[in-house]
Amino acid sequence: MIKVGVVGASGYTGLELVKMLVSHPKFELSYLATTTGDTMIEALHPSLEGVISLNVDKASAEGVAEHCDLVFLALPHKASMGFAKEVLKKGVKVVDLSADYRLELDTYEANYCEHEDKEHLDSSVYALIEYYREELKSTNLAAGPGCYPTATLLGILPFIPYLDTNVPLFVDAKSGVSGAGKKLSDTTHFVTINDNIFAYNPLKHRHAPEIAEKIEKVHGAKMQVNFVPHLIPATRGELISCYAVLKEDIDPLEVLTKHYKNDPFIRVRENPVDIKSTAGTHFCDIYAQKNGNALFVNSAIDNLLRGASSQALAAANLMCGLPEEMGIPTIAYMP
């Protein structure tokens, strides 16, 4: 068995990781930690009562090294890199769910803060599985993509060679409230979000440069990304609508089907997608349609799973020489 741990076990993504790791056939969940520790996992998450009973320690690199061959870091941005730096030095593989290793240095520092682990940043692999599968097999540090970039990139990347990249890409994104994390704010208060929907950080959200950077990485194409996220009154789920201009005539569904023919967790749909069909799963559902040279691409994921925890688990599987799909949830449920 491969011993793994979760640092940041108190959050939503930490809980999803624990739920998957409990029944994973090759990973042994041997370490749980938060910044404070001194509790039990079933006390943090009552839904785990009768499922697992495990101490939650105060996070330390020494504790990780003692108990883990690989660790998932479900820590906030800026907090993860300092911890990851020490853990990596101790020979433990890391899957980081924060933004700290998913961007080029200039992009990161322009949108977050000064990076304190430039050495490992250069060797990290962006864990968008369908595009970096082989690289993940030989890395010790996987950087989980943002949930919005995951759904957007999986939808739009197959079409970049056919687009007029001089025309900006417009992305309309909608996410359930769990994407904002556990910490309460004015916008996530029940009274605010119930029966409501609104945009936040329009055209200024820091996932826009992440999307633009990865389009250039994969296809060598510079493209302006106009990204507008919205919060919707749902617990989980994410719906993306992309609008772009084609430079040649194509059959959009044919392009998608051919592009993802060997990717079992991409489902090409013949009608616009919805969030309930992917809730609780690792699937990304994609639909596309054109009208003349106007292209519409529609994708849906579970923001906590494909947008974070199950994508992290798939990356960990590949890093440890295991089948990508091992322990990955595939049955949708009604949230």
Encode the chain (335 residues) as per-residue pLDDT tens digits: 999 999 999 999 999 999 999 999 999 999 999 989 889 999 999 999 999 999 999 999 999 999 999 999 999 888 999 999 999 999 999 999 999 999 999 999 999 999 999 999 999 999 999 999 999 999 999 999 999 999 999 999 999 999 999 999 999 999 999 887 777 778 888 888 889 999 999 999 999 999 999 999 999 999 999 999 999 999 999 999 999 999 999 999 999 999 999 999 999 999 999 999 999 999 999 999 999 999 999 999 999 999 999 999 999 999 999 999 999 998 887 65
Q: Report if residue 271 sits inside a domain.
A: yes
114/177 same-domain check: no
The confidence score (pLDDT) of residue 193 equals 85
Q: Report if residue 24 sits inside a domain.
A: yes
111/8 same-domain check: yes
Q: Report if residue 130 sits inside a domain.
A: no
Q: Report if residue 333 sits inside a domain.
A: no
Among 89, 123, 157, which residue terminates a domain? 123
111/159 same-domain check: no
Q: Report if residue 69 sits inside a domain.
A: yes
Check: CB of residue 50 under 8 Å from CB of residue 34.
no
Q: Report if residue 265 sits inside a domain.
A: yes
DSSP assignment of 133-197: HHHHTT-SEEEPPPHHHHHHHHHHGGGGGGB-TTSPEEEEEEE-GGGG-SS--TTTSHHHHTT--
Q: Which domain holds residue 252?
A: 148-303
Task: Please report which helix (H) or strand (E) contains residue 262, including its range.
Answer: none
The confidence score (pLDDT) of residue 188 equals 81
237: domain CATH number is 3.30.360.10
Q: Report if residue 35 sits inside a domain.
A: yes
198/94 same-domain check: no
Q: How far apart are CA 34 and CA 7, in angstroms?
A: 6
118/162 same-domain check: no
109: domain CATH number is 3.40.50.720
205/245 same-domain check: yes
Q: Model pTM?
A: 0.96
266/161 same-domain check: yes
Q: Which of 68, 113, 147, 242 is catalytic?
A: 147
Among 123, 156, 191, which residue terminates a domain? 123
The confidence score (pLDDT) of residue 265 equals 97
Token pair 């739920």 is found at: 19
The confidence score (pLDDT) of residue 334 equals 65
**Count of domains observed in the chain:** 2
152/298 same-domain check: yes
Annotation says 147 is catalytic: yes
Q: Report if residue 317 sits inside a domain.
A: no
